[in-house]
Amino acid sequence: MSEKKDFDFKKDYKYGFKTKTKSIRETKRGLSESVVREISMIKEEPKWMLEVRLDALKTFYEMENPGWGPDLTSIDFNDIIYYIKPSNKVEKDWKDVPEEIKDTFNKLGIPEAEQKYLSGVTTQFESEAVYHSTIKELNDLGVIFLDTDSALKEYPELFKEYFTKAVPYNDNKYAALNTAVWSGGSFIYVPKGVEIKKPLQSYFRINSERMGQFERTMIIVEDNSTLNYVEGCTAPIYSNSSLHAAVVEIYVKSNAKCRYSTVQNWSTNINNLVTKRSIVEDYGHMEWIDGNIGSGINMKYPSCILKGDYSKGTTITIAFAGKNQYQDTGAKMIHIGKNTTSKIVSKSIATKGGKVNYRGLVSQEGSAENAKSTIECDTILVDRDSTSDTIPTNIVKNFKGQIEHEATVSKVSDEELFYLMSRGLTEDEAKEMIVMGFIEPFARELPMEYAVELNQLIKLEMTDSIG
């Protein structure tokens, strides 16, 4: 136990470091029409993009916070810097990346990871991608893997065709905010009939106090193609409130397959309000592997719109709420096509007074004949101070649909702890083992290094020294 008390979170936590960076350009603190115009100007965007941004800003002002879930009234939109540009150009080569920035990446272990697993890396430092490498393999296949800003410049028509088509800016207040001030993110286009065997990965990170991050990710997987995309984020520790409001739009075409995996680990002062949605065509399959370890308030419900006949949606999600954390997560499956199927597996863990909710929607529309859905929500409460609610909404609007819903809530019992401890594990280790076992169905879906990282994160979160 004494070992753990000596653990200095700020000093010892692997991701809890900051690198001093001089930003070449940043916008004034706060949100206004002129800030939005300035962002668009710095980026030398086409006029239509500025117009969309301004419309979205107007919508943002008009819309209210969600009427459910955590209280978001404490977010001060005028206390956030919406855009910081760390360097003027997008890097192509690792050796051209500024030393200071490299230092941060080294601490995150990106170069090693790159060698082992990555087919290509987009690393977002502050608001914009500064490092980008796409290996030859991908280029040869005709795959586009760019930061979103570059994609707008290089492929304006393709970009315009899909931008805001899965998540319109009036979808919710934070989608509107993202559309108004978005910067960075990944853009992936997989042409017809291309199967990318290795996962694509990208790391995101906030590194400036009170700085919001508003990345926009767009993924298009054309007919008969396969993509496995992994996004990772870790954040340093801050004392001031911060906001992460991203939008992810994914288009899965006929008979295509897309898997999007992420483990978010924002520090607990960050409100993570992310809109993720995919549109799936005939025989397509979308899989969300969605891990939520960090952030103070987290609201995230990855969605699949199963538009095509025989299309399929899968969401496997975990949410871990420790001290001062409120995880309100889940999944949405909207069945429109005939014979569509969906599966949601949700694992929630609450410890040290954390609150974790599963909030889900499964809707089988009138046209979705023979749709089938299964939902499995399991929650484990590690102690008595922690709480959880399961809030499912299941709707069937035709006579041939089928929904199966199973939910369990369990507590870590004295008997379980006794058994594991009787073999020599400490109480903390025993709890950790039970929790790790509980999330195993999620962890096994992750690439090896991510599973290892997740393991370490949970270990850190489960020890007494954190929080």
Partner 1 sequence: MVLEFKDLYVSVEGNRILKGINLKIMSGETHAIMGPNGTGKSTLAQVCMGHPKYKVESGDILLDGESIIDLSVDERSRRGIFLGMQNPIEVPGVTNFDFIKSAIQKRMRKDEHLRIGKFILKYESASQDLDMGKGLAHRYLNQGFSGGEKKRNEILQMKMLNPKFAFLDEIDSGLDVDALKLVGEHVTKQKSADLGLILITHYQRLLDYIEPDFVHIMINGQIVKTGNTELITKIDREGYDWVKTELGIDDEDDKPYSLGNCPTKSLV
Query: Judged by CB, which is closer to partner 1: 32, or 408?
Result: 408
CB of 1 to partner 1, least distance (A): 10
120: β partners = 134
Please give the backbone phi and psi of residue 366, each rounded to the nearest 5 degrees, phi first: -55, -35
What SS3 class is residue 359?
strand
Distance of closest approach, residue 451 Cβ to partner 1, in angstroms: 12
Nearer to partner 1, 32 or 426 (CB): 426
Q: CB 151 → partner 1: shortest distance, Å?
A: 40
Question: What is the rounded distance in angstroms from the CA atom of residue 190 to the CA atom of residue 322?
Answer: 38
Kindly state the smallest distance separating residue 432's Cβ from partner 1, in Å.
10
SS3 187: strand
CB 255 within 8 A of CB 228: no
Q: Which structure tokens are listed for 30?
A: 């706060």
Residue 338 CB, nearest approach to partner 1 (Å): 36
Q: Specify the residue, 7 or 17, whose C-beta has the smaller distance to partner 1.
A: 7
**Tokens at residue 330, please?**
């889940």
How many Å separate Cα 458 from the centre of its chain?
17
For helices 414-421 and 427-438, give the axis angle rounded to 10 degrees: 110
DSSP state of 113: H
Q: What minimum distance in Å lies between the beta carbon of 434 and partner 1?
A: 6
CA distances from 224 to 92, 194, 283, 336 (A): 30, 7, 9, 21
Minimum CB–partner distance for residue 385 and partner 1 (Å) = 18
Given a contact cutoff of 8 angstroms between Cβ atoms, the answer to whether 175 and 214 are in contact is: no
- Residue 384 or 423 with smaller CB distance to partner 1: 423
Q: Find out whether 184 and 216 touch, Cβ atoms under 8 Å.
A: yes
Closer residue to partner 1 (CB): 55 or 416: 416
Name beta bridge partners: 359: 330, 391
The H or E element containing residue 458 is helix 448-462
Show the tokens assigned to 161.
């065709």
135 vs 425, beta carbon nearer partner 1: 425
Element (H, E) at 157: helix 156-162
Judged by beta carbon, residue 250 or residue 460, the one nearer partner 1 is: 460
Q: Cα–Cα distances in Å, from 211 out to 96, 203, 225, 240, 265? A: 25, 17, 37, 10, 16
- The least CB distance from residue 404 to partner 1, in Å, is 20
- Neighbouring CB atoms inside 10 A of 345's CB total 19
Would you give the distance in Å from CA 255 to the centre of its chain? 25
- Phi, psi values for residue 42, rounded to 5°: -55, -40
**Nearer to partner 1 by C-beta: 111 or 437?**
437
The least CB distance from residue 425 to partner 1, in Å, is 6
Residue 8 CB partners (closer than 8 Å, separation 6+):
none
Select 9 or 418, whichever has its Cβ closest to partner 1: 418
Name the minimum Å distance from CB 442 to partner 1.
Answer: 10
Give contact residues for partner 1 (rule: CB under 8 A).
414-427, 429-430, 433-434, 436-441
Complex with partner 1: residue 79 or 416, whichever CB lies closer: 416
CB 421 → partner 1: shortest distance, Å? 4
For residues 240 and 413, which CB has a smaller minimum distance to partner 1 in the complex? 413
Hey, is 406 helix, strand or coil?
strand
Dump strand ranges (E) for 87-191: 120-125, 128-134, 144-147, 186-190
